A = this chain, B = another copy of it.
Amino acid sequence: MKILLTNDDGIYADGLCGLYHALSLEHEVYIVAPEAERSAVGHAITIHYPLRVQEIRRGKLFWGYAVSGTPADCVKLAIYELVGPVDLVISGINRGANVGINVLYSGTVSAATEAKILGYSGIAVSIDAYEDIDYCYASYFISNFIKNVDKVCLERPFCLNINIPHLNPNEIKGIRVVKQSTAKLKEVFEKRRDLHGKIYYWQGAEEHLENSPYTDVVSLKEGYITITPVHFDLTSYAELKILSEGKILESIHI
């Protein structure tokens, strides 16, 4: 397969490197990734600044294209200008899980979603760890998964958000196809003073307040690899139906 590889941790990230080596044995792999970390950028795109592209070499080997934009920019620019049509877009392996509400903030997932928007199948891959990460098993899992991708009984283009626990393979309990949790995040804003006495805030999220095992958040925590099919229609159809039947339109003067 012709595969486009991107991420939001930047072109030099270990997770992208690990996945590249696992995939390039059997596939034609192209890397187009942000020149530096672009975490939590959500589905941002760059329309007010020019995008710069740099060819990156590692030793004598051409490694990929580093882009001065977001993950979604990378996918668009790759498809339209740098690489052309591909069989699959893979985004990752991200350092840190992308489950629950965090999926909305995730640059990793937005790259896979952007692939689907453009008419290509996309897979976002994240590992549930931040330190001392071993990407070997996750890379092996994905290379094995995409060998079987024809058995994914979805129409193309699909977009899958895959999260992998950072456990020894024999401790992983299995795979679960689960929905995205919509439970609240326990968030913090820490108010601090800089060296000049001026106030600033650090933003962080501690945990999802979610208990249902049939969600990505809890299944991942329990030791399962989670797979969530993702769409990009933000319409709330249940509410659309209620609104259409309601009286709101009659009571508003235009």
The distance from the CB of A138 to the nearest CB of chain B, in whole angstroms, is 11
Contact B246 A236 (CB under 8 A): no
Q: Which of A68-110 contact B (CB under 8 A)?
A: 72-73, 76-77, 80-81, 101, 103-105, 109-110
**A57 close to chain B: CB less than 8 A:** no
Interface centre among A103, A252, A253 (most CB of B within 10 A): A252
Taking A80-B189, A228-B235, A231-B235 as known contacts, 13 extra A-B pairs with beta carbons closer than 8 A to each other, sorted by chain A number, are A39-B47, A40-B45, A43-B104, A52-B198, A52-B201, A81-B189, A141-B252, A152-B246, A153-B248, A154-B242, A177-B244, A230-B234, A231-B234
| CB pair B232 A182 closer than 8 Å | yes
| B243 & A148 in contact (Cβ 8 Å cutoff) | no
Expressed in whole angstroms, the Cα–Cα distance for A184 and B199 within the complex equals 44
Of the listed stretches A15-23, A25-33, A126-134, A167-175, name the one at the interface; the rest are far from the partner chain: A167-175
**How many protomers of this protein does the assembly include?**
2
Contact partner of A243 (CB less than 8 A), chosen from B47, B153, B242, B252, is: B153
Residues of B with C-beta under 8 A to A239: 154, 158, 229, 231
16 contacts between A and B (CB under 8 A): A40-B47, A42-B44, A42-B110, A43-B43, A50-B194, A50-B200, A51-B202, A81-B191, A104-B110, A144-B252, A148-B252, A152-B248, A179-B233, A180-B235, A228-B235, A230-B234
Cβ–Cβ contact A151 & B187, under 8 A: no
From known contacts A177-B243, A242-B153, infer whether A45 and B235 are also in contact, taking CB-CB under 8 Å: no
Q: In the complex, what residues of B have CB within 8 A of residue A194's CB?
A: 50
Looking at A148, A151, A234, the one whose CB has the most chain B CB atoms below 10 A away is: A234
Instruction: Label chain A's interface by main secondary structure.
Output: mixed
What B residues does A236 contact at CB under 8 A?
A: 159, 229-231
A80 touches B235 (CB 8 A): no
A 36-59 binary contact with B (CB < 8 Å = 1; else 0):
010111111111101111000000
